Structure 1
Amino acid sequence: MDEETLEQVRSIVASIPPGRVLSYGDIAEIAGIRSPRLVGRIMAEDSADLPWHRVLRSNGTIAEHLRSRQLELLRAEGVLADGARINMREYRWDG
């Protein structure tokens, strides 16, 4: 992956406002990237300084190993889950 793609994904994630979320696929589409998995890889490797908790799977679910912390951070911003799923229609950022 090139530096431009990395920075573009980082910029999109950084721009998601509190109380809103995007999916990996949303970010890929905005960035013009073919694969949401590439966004996931970028997030896994280089997102500690970003609001990573605002990025979800397209169905609004959260990876098991992140669930407690991610739900806690989202809840603090007013994003409420129904069990372990976020309502993407309600909270998706249309920026």
Structure 2
Amino acid sequence: MADIRYQETMWAEMKPDIYGGESCDQHVPAWECKAEGDMDVERGLKDIEFSASAFPPGTKIVVSLPCCPDCGLDAGFSQNGACECGFDWKAWAEERYQ
């Protein structure tokens, strides 16, 4: 069987609204999505859904978590808080997504 080359065609990043909540200091999770050929991105999505019938056989969906720049551990599925080594993911998000 021949090796199959894969082409990335869609991307999404969880870009929280870092000014959420009544006091404008809460992080509200939201996806920003883009597909190859799109002129713009979709922002503020709460959920992403993939219908199997929209894709050809062999399509893969990959999720990549950020890794701590200090110790290398991935951020896990925690949206806020600190890494085991003390790296502050909330502060990182506020700097990155301001």
Rg: which structure is higher?
Answer: 2
User: One fold, TM greater than 0.5?
Assistant: no
User: Structure 2 length normalisation: TM-score?
Assistant: 0.28
Higher helix share: 1
Higher strand share: 2
